[in-house]
């Protein structure tokens, strides 16, 4: 089977795109370390989330077309709808001849699931065996060529697929694959899955993928799936010869269900944000087989959600939300809305965005509004939010050490307890914080929990109790100084 080179296709391009919407300038494919700059507005809205749409989703779902999966595609999509999702991505494993199976069997079933469930956006994806690394989600934009494009990618770049021979299993091969995705128009997306599970994703690989995949590589799973596994997330694995050897033993654990790279203040994620990189986190089910049917998984949306904010409800807006970090992650429906934004003068920025601090404006207002669901979660509980943390770190520039995985400037800048927030008329809980006269660029992110724990706890072995300690994590906002 011959798959053409991407340069032979009309849907591929190396162009740079500028999109102007809602007073925001998106620059994609030019500067890898600047996500959005808010332009001056005559009358900024009191809340930049007003008028948009929130949609929950999951970008890591398996079906019977994975060797370790069980369910029909329509079954998984139906479960996603039942558990409150508005979008999902089917990501069966790359494998021998899977590209052919995708085209002949899986994709027709996916189209049928779209027809059966028209109120959810169902994307075609792949759990890619990233060369010399871990697994990753690749998401294709909807279109008549979506399955063919993905099959071509898999055959060329998945080391476990042999349709075109044996693809190389090297770090350079992974970079070439990301470059290939970068040429697609509309752009695909790539997130690393369960990044710290086996120590296979080094800091320099994350940086390299980000450098060559300016529009495509947008982060990693902040919380893995397999949340009912007794080794939560199927973590607690031992390092192998292929693991990056400088990771400490504690990196192989989850922390109240979240990956070590995300849960550690001043850790891997913060080291990337300190460079101003648009690296965002998600939370997914990695659903193969439900825990009540002999597996270790929840159904899509039953426990883990990635909740995106969209200016309007359409499939391309979902992908742009994932690409721009306009989303937060949550377990156990601890919250179902997070309006996190900053304001300075007449400028503002939402999650994933960048606020360019105007000249002579030296006061940054931080607003956090969360909504706690009025109904019970899928364990029949109504968890109570205990506290919310505002985390701040300095943007120090690109590190000379490509394997740096710490950021000593990251810290909890403010902790909000029930006595510190007020309830707005719409039922949201509001927290505010002011940063006076910043002298250096910085970023902010938010997390919260139903526990009194100051930091997430390492998950013990041989215990499956995910509903006890619930957390949510925002994506970051960057603040830069004019001039």
Rounded to an integer, what distance in angstroms lies between the CA atom of residue 363 and that of residue 344?
6
Token representation of residue 130 = 């990233």
pTM for the full model? 0.92
Which pLDDT belongs to residue 373? 97
Rounded to an integer, what distance in angstroms lies between the CA atom of residue 232 and that of residue 223?
10
**Do 83 and 299 contact (CB within 8 A), yes or no?**
yes
Antiparallel, parallel or unpaired: β 337-344 and 442-449: unpaired
Q: What burial class does residue 271 get, using C-beta atoms within 10 Å of its C-beta: 0-12 exposed, 13-18 middle, 19+ buried?
A: buried
DSSP 8-state secondary structure symbol assigned to residue 36: E
Residues in the chain where the model's pLDDT stays below 70:
1-45, 483
Which pLDDT belongs to residue 194? 98
Residue reference for tokens 């979506």:
146
Rounded to an integer, what distance in angstroms lies between the CA atom of residue 262 and that of residue 255?
9
- Sign of the C-alpha dihedral, residues 342, 203, 296, 458? negative
DSSP 8-state secondary structure symbol assigned to residue 63: -
Antiparallel, parallel or unpaired: β 87-90 and 53-61: parallel
Residue reference for tokens 């619930």:
470
Residue reference for tokens 């300190």:
274
Q: Which of 325, 233, 227 is nearest to 282 (CA)?
A: 325
Rounded to an integer, what distance in angstroms lies between the CA atom of residue 456 and that of residue 445?
16
DSSP 8-state secondary structure symbol assigned to residue 6: G
Which pLDDT belongs to residue 422? 97
Which pLDDT belongs to residue 16? 30
DSSP 8-state secondary structure symbol assigned to residue 267: S
Find how far residue 384's CA is from the centre of its chain.
25
Q: Which of 416, 134, 464, 99 is nearest to 303 (CA)?
A: 464
**Structural domains in the chain plus CATH codes:** 16-481 (3.20.20.140)
Instruction: Give the Å distances, CA to CA, from 60 to 9, 57, 72, 242.
Output: 28, 10, 15, 24
* Coil, helix or strand at residue 3: coil
**Do 161 and 97 contact (CB within 8 A), yes or no?**
yes
Instruction: Please provide residue 450's backbone torsions phi and psi, each rounded to the nearest 5 degrees.
Output: -90, 0
């Amino acid at each position: 089977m011959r798959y053409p080179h991407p340069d032979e296709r009309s849907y591929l391009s190396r162009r740079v795109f500028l999109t102007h919407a809602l007073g925001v300038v998106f620059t994609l494919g030019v500067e890898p370390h600047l996500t959005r700059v808010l332009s001056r507005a005559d009358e900024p809205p009191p809340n930049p989330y007003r008028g948009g749409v929130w949609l929950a989703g999951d970008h890591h779902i398996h079906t019977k077309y994975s060797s370790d999966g069980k369910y029909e595609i329509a079954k998984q999509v139906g479960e996603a709808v039942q558990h409150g999702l508005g979008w999902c991505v089917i990501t069966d494993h790359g494998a021998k001849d899977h590209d052919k199976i995708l085209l002949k069997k899986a994709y027709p079933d996916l189209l049928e699931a779209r027809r059966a469930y028209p109120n959810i956006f169902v994307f075609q994806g792949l759990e890619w065996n990233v060369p010399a690394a871990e697994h990753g989600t690749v998401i294709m934009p909807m279109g008549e060529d979506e399955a063919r494009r993905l099959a071509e990618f898999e055959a060329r770049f998945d080391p476990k697929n042999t349709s075109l021979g044996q693809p190389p299993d090297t770090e350079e091969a992974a970079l070439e694959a990301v470059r290939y995705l970068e040429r697609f128009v509309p752009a695909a997306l790539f997130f690393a899955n369960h990044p710290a599970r086996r120590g296979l994703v080094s800091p320099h690989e994350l940086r390299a993928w980000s450098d060559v995949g300016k529009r495509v590589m947008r982060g990693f799973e902040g919380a893995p799936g397999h949340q009912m596994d007794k080794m939560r997330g199927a973590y607690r694995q031992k390092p192998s010869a292929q693991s990056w050897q400088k990771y400490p033993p504690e990196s192989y654990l989850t922390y109240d269900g979240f990956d070590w790279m995300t849960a550690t203040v001043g850790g891997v994620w913060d080291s990337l944000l300190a460079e101003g990189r648009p690296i965002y986190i998600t939370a997914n089910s990695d659903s193969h087989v439900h825990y009540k049917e002999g597996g270790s998984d929840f159904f899509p949306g039953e426990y883990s959600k990635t909740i995106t904010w969209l200016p309007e409800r359409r499939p391309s807006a979902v992908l742009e939300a994932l690409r721009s970090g306009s989303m937060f992650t949550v377990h156990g429906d601890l919250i179902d809305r997070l309006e996190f934004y900053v304001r300075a003068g007449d400028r503002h920025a939402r999650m994933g965005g960048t606020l360019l601090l105007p000249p002579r404006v030296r006061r940054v207002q931080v607003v956090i509004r969360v909504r706690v669901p009025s109904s019970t979660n899928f364990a029949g509980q109504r968890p109570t939010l205990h506290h919310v943390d505002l985390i701040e770190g300095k943007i120090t520039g690109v590190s000379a050490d490509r394997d740096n995985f710490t950021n000593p400037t990251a810290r909890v800048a403010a902790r909000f307890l029930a006595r510190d927030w007020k309830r707005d008329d719409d039922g949201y809980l509001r927290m505010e914080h002011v940063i006076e006269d910043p002298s250096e660029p910085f970023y902010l992110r938010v997390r919260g929990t139903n526990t009194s724990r100051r930091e997430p706890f390492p998950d013990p072995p041989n215990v499956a109790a995910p509903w006890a300690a619930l957390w949510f994590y925002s994506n970051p906002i960057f603040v830069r100084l004019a001039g």
